Amino acid sequence: MIATLLVVLQVVVATAITPLLIGVMRQVRARLEGRIGSGVLQPYRDVRKLLAKEPLRAEGSSIILVAAPLVLLVSSLLVVALVPLVTTANIPAVPNDLFVVVSILLIGTVALALLGLDAGTAFGGMGSSRHMMIAALVEPTVLMSVYALSIPVGSSTLSKIVVARGADVTRVVTPAGLLAVVALVVVVLAETGRLPVDNPSTHLELTMIHESMILESAGRDLAWLEVGSWLRLTALLGLVVNLALPWGLADSMQPLALLVAVVTLGVKLLVAGGVIAAAEVFMAKVRLFKVPELLAGSFVLAFLAVTASYLAG
Amino acid sequence: MTAVGGLVTVLTLTALAILLAFAAPPRYRSVASGGASMGIGIAGVFTGIAGITSVPQAVLVVPIAIPGGLGIDPLLLSPTPLGGVFCVVVGAVGAIAALYGIGYAHGPAASRTGWSAFAVFLLGMLIVASAGDVVSFLLGWETMAIASTVLLLADHAERPAVRTAAVWYAVMTHLSFLSLATGFALVASKAHSTTFTQISAAQITGPTGIAAFLLLLIGFATKAGLVPLHVWLPRAHPEAPSHVSAVMSAAMVKLGVYGIILLVGSWLPQVARPFAILVLALGVLSGAYGILQASITSDLKRLLAYSTTENVGLAVTAVGVGMLLSNAGQDAVATIALVAALLLVVSHAAFKTVLFLGAGTILHATGERDLDRLGGLIRSHPVTTWTFGIAAMGAAALPVTSGFAAEWTLLQALVHGDGRANTTLALALPVTLGLMALTIGLGLLTFVKAFGMAFLARPRSEAAATPAPEFTSKPGSAAMGVAQAIGALSVLALGLAVGPLATAFSSVLGYSGIITSELGGLRLVTIGVLDPYALGLVAVGLAVPVALLVLVLRRRVPRRETDLAWGCGGVRTSPRMEYTATSYAEPLVRVFGEALRPTRSLEVSHHAEDHVLEHRVAFAQEVSDIVEDRWYAPAAVWLRVAGDQARRVQNGSIHRYLAFSFAALVLVLVVVTLP
């Protein structure tokens, strides 16, 4: 029961903080590029605006146009509920197994790809095709990192991994642990459509991946898509920061512990987001056909992490 | 029903199906004979269940009288618990496919021969799954091979490709038979018995054992469609009538997996041990190669055929992982891998049946199986869309289907195998996981492509724009939709019932480390729990507030229909500008260009008056199977040359033939007189 309450709290906190994270990332980038920026609260205003606008439905599109954004949103919420962000507690019947988390992310990926195909436009198909190619090639790195992280603990359950890393600082700085986290960072960038894999603020259809799949969505459909994608970023980034700095998470309902957990999460997330945004200013999007090389590189890191943990252990 | 009763029912119903195929008037032939075939399938399911549950096993003994005896024991038909699992798979797939066939079969597939062969095909498979000795196993194996070849040839008059496919299939399946017969002969001569229990008890080792193991492995791998012996599969599955493809792909190839499991687990376990890496490599390579080919092909049924190679590959991967782990003494995890293999078999049987039936409906409605020319069927074919969609989710291993549970179990076995035990494991486990992950990723892309291109977007051809209706007034037409719906429901049911299912499989394998969790999910003791119900409840809990918000907003801001999709500036886009299946897979073809070796041609012709303006652009791309091109084509040439040379022996002279007879007689006498 307490675990359920903690999970509910985590979902609420993460959902509330997510637009702020996006706002901070955009603002950091704007300032570094010499622009004033629209303020860190702009994403909240964007969502409010989109929810009030009428959704459109183009000729030739189907129920997928309505369903896919909702599927993406619910799958992202589910990931946020499972990943240890605020709390390491989890509902006993639903352990936050990393393989399960990854496959729930894939549900969202598939929903987006089908949405891209739905209206039958050239851009949608293009985005969908590229999106699925990247998703397919990311998969080996994802599962290999999961593998590397789970070897020392003997379990692929996330909260066990985080607790074990938090209890023993030497685990965090082992070569295997570091390599796995670095590989995961590349995964997060690719899965959430950040530079250098995809440019979240592009306005040219031919270079789009994520944006070209959601071209046909408007109003609340677009709002669900935006929030769903942002939540994926929160969950994955939160996972990486909690693996790298596994401290401050609450495991009980004590108000003080909860407050500490929420604040730590906010600070970790906003700092990590700010660092990513700052790095993006100095980075260009790589050619689509260079992305597999990047992913192959991160796969090698993850593979080394696995063999290192077998040989060192 | 006991297993014996079930088998007798199966035999009786087969006779009835053949009788009805010949006696019933043509208009009611499909309903009558197809109905009887459905009965065979259902009886097969009951036989299998009886085989799984009954202890001690019921045995149907068929004494055979061959003059001189030849040391052949009576035929034993006794489904073991493991065989029972495969009986259930064969029976269920057969029943659903027969039901679909009632509405679908037309032309030669609905002829007297067509329906008789279908019944005999089911009978052959059930005999294989319940055989307790070598002779009845091979008898069933050959019955199944011949009946399926007859069924495959159904449309040979319409399409020449059918004949080529049938020749490939007949050759490969008989090579498989030859290899099995030789292997079994070696084993039986060593064990001095043809029954499987005696063979297992004989604990055969040594060079004979190794030779027999390799021969049997080749025979089963051919039937299972493992790379590099898969070449018949992408030819035969597309050309057979769809309900037959469903049975071939969902049930028949599984018997190859059954054979491999028996071979390494029961018949020749000692010999098999050092070959664990070989089995694992067969499985992993089949998985990755199969799905890579599936992801780039645009022929829907060819795609499904290659995906069968992939899924069988994953099941054999699980067997290989189990062998490796049990070599290292990690028996508990090894059994989990074997349970994963059975889960993969069952879930693949369910979703592949529905996918092939869906492909059949598409073919029936549009005459097309080329995804580049399909699209928009969600509007005219809702039942097919939803059933195909559910099955595609299973094929892409998304939660909470049984495909996901199966892969999760295998992944857990991989992660919990202790790689510190030896270097082989430390390398084999991560490499397997990496390739398996690539397989899963590409599988996702493949089925997004298959579903999206066939059902979503706008029609890409005239045929797809004006499909035949989903239901017609023809007798039995509704059977197609009902069969697809039953199949799709069973895909969902298997996903929800994964806990009891895995528990049953682990008790089939004599293992108690897998139990059903509180809510009915799957619990691997000391490893983890996967509970579809609990996961579903959490998802519903999260969806409720979203749904409430949607309801409020729907009232406040209604949706508006527009007629233009974004065309980069308001141009009315033509369906010809849509992405096709080929363009969808283009990035993959580039990334894996080295492995796939596509041949491409681009012809640009210019206007006569102005050479700068392009008049026509013709693009053609063909990706053939490199295994076929590199290995089989040269072998075929070589065989032909050898055949031409051998023809010289036959010049029609009676003297020469008499000389041959005399030489043969002398040879036989010499061999017989040797000590």
C-alpha closest to that of B96 among B149, B37, B11:
B37
Q: How far apart are CA B228 and CA B193, in angstroms?
A: 32
Helices in B382-531 by DSSP H: which ranges? 382-395, 402-416, 423-455, 462-465, 478-496, 498-508
Identity at A110, one-letter amino acid code: V
Out of B420, B529, B558, the one facing A54 most closely (by C-beta) is B558
Pairwise CA distance, residues B622 & B211, whole Å: 39
A121, A161, A191: best to mutate for the B interface, most B CBs within 10 A = A121
Q: Quick check: is B639 in a domain?
A: yes
B368, B432: one domain: yes
Q: Is residue B145 part of a domain?
A: no
Task: Measure in Å the smallest separation between the Cα of B560 and chain A Cα atoms.
Answer: 5
Same domain, B519 and B667: no
DSSP β-bridge partners for residue A103: none
Residue A193, amino acid: G
Q: In this prediction, what percent of chain A has a pLDDT beyond 90?
A: 42
* B515–chain A Cβ distance below 8 A for any pair: no
Residues B639 and B528 in one domain: no
A253 C-beta neighbours (distance < 10 Å), count: 15
Q: For residue B541, what are the contacts with CB-CB under 8 A and spacing of at least 6?
A: none
CA distance A20 to A267: 12
Asked whether the beta carbons of B179 and B222 are under 8 A apart, the reply is: yes
pLDDT exceeds cutoff 70 at B351? yes
Tokens coding A215: 């071209």
- pTM, to two decimals: 0.94
pLDDT exceeds cutoff 80 at B72: no
List all residues of chain A from 269 to 298 with a beta carbon under 8 Å from chain B.
Answer: 288-289, 292
What pLDDT was estimated at residue B570? 60
Domain that holds residue A132: 2-312
B411:A143 CB<8 A = yes
Report the 3 state secondary structure along A114-173: HHHHHCCCHHHHHHHHHHHHHHHHHHHHHHHHHHHHHHHHCCCEHHHHHHHHHHCHHHHC
Which residue in A94, A117, A150 is closest to B535 by CB distance? Answer: A94
The pLDDT, as a whole number, for residue B512 is: 72
Residue B443 lies in a domain: yes
| pLDDT score, position B66 | 59
Domain boundary among B557, B574, B592: B557
| Whether A137 and B591 lie within 8 Å, measured CB to CB | yes
| B134-180 pLDDT, tens digit each | 989 999 999 999 999 999 998 888 888 899 999 999 999 999 999 99
Say whether both B472 and B381 belong to one domain. Answer: yes
Q: Give the largest Cα separation in chain A, rounded.
A: 59
Residues in chain A: 313
In a domain, B534, yes or no: yes
Cα(B349)–Cα(B356) distance, integer angstroms: 11
Where in the sequence is the domain holding B628, given as residue range(s)? 602-675
Do B607 and B553 share a structural domain?
Answer: no
B538 and B423 both lie in a single domain: yes
Domain check: are B489 and B632 in the same one? Answer: no
Closest partner CB to B441 (pick from A64, A107, A137): A137
B659 found inside a domain: yes
Nearest-by-Cβ selection for B531 from A94, A124, A289: A94
Q: Which residues of B176-200 are buried (b: 16+ CB within 10 A; e: fewer)?
A: bbebbbbbbebbbebbebbbbebbb
> Which chain A residues have a beta carbon less than 8 Å from that of B577?
121-122
Q: What pLDDT is recorded for position B569?
A: 67
Nearest to B243 by CA among B120, B129, B332, B115: B115
pLDDT tens by residue, B594-605: 888 888 888 888
Q: Which of residues 238-277 of B touch A (CB under 8 A)?
A: none
Using a CB–CB cutoff of 8 Å, tell me whether B420 touches chain A. Answer: yes
- Tell me the backbone φ, ψ of residue B397, rounded to 5 degrees: 60, 45
Predicted pLDDT of residue B55: 64
**pLDDT classification of A239: cutoffs 50, 70, 90:** very high
Cα–Cα distance between B11 and B15 in angstroms, integer?
6
Does the CA dihedral B91-B94-B98-B99 come out positive or negative? positive
Round the average pLDDT of chain B to a whole number and report it.
89
**What is the model's pLDDT at position B218?**
96
Q: Quickly list H helices, B54-133.
A: 81-104, 112-130
Regarding whether B485 and B412 lie in a shared domain, the answer is: yes
Q: How far apart are CA B350 and CA B357, in angstroms?
A: 11
Q: Are residues B406 and B505 in the same domain?
A: yes
Total structural domains in chain A?
1
| B227: three-class secondary structure by DSSP | coil
- Complex ipTM more than 0.90, yes or no: yes
Dihedral sign (CA B332, A84, A92, B398): negative
Number of domains in chain B: 2
Q: Are B355 and B443 in contact (CB under 8 A)?
A: no
Do B421 and B534 belong to one domain? yes
Q: Do B380 and B524 fall into the same domain?
A: yes
Q: Tell me which residues of chain B, numbers 532 to 591, contact chain A at a CB-CB cutoff of 8 Å.
A: 534-535, 538-539, 542-543, 546, 550, 553, 557-568, 573, 575, 577-579, 583-588, 590-591
Task: Identify which of A54, A155, A219 has the shortest CB distance to residue B528.
Answer: A155
B437 and A156 within 8 Å at the Cβ level: the answer is no
User: How does pLDDT run across B568-610, given as a tens digit for each residue?
Assistant: 666 666 788 888 999 999 889 888 888 888 888 888 888 877 7
Higher per-residue pLDDT: A256 or B304? B304
Cβ-Cβ pairs closer than 8 A, A with B, add up to 243
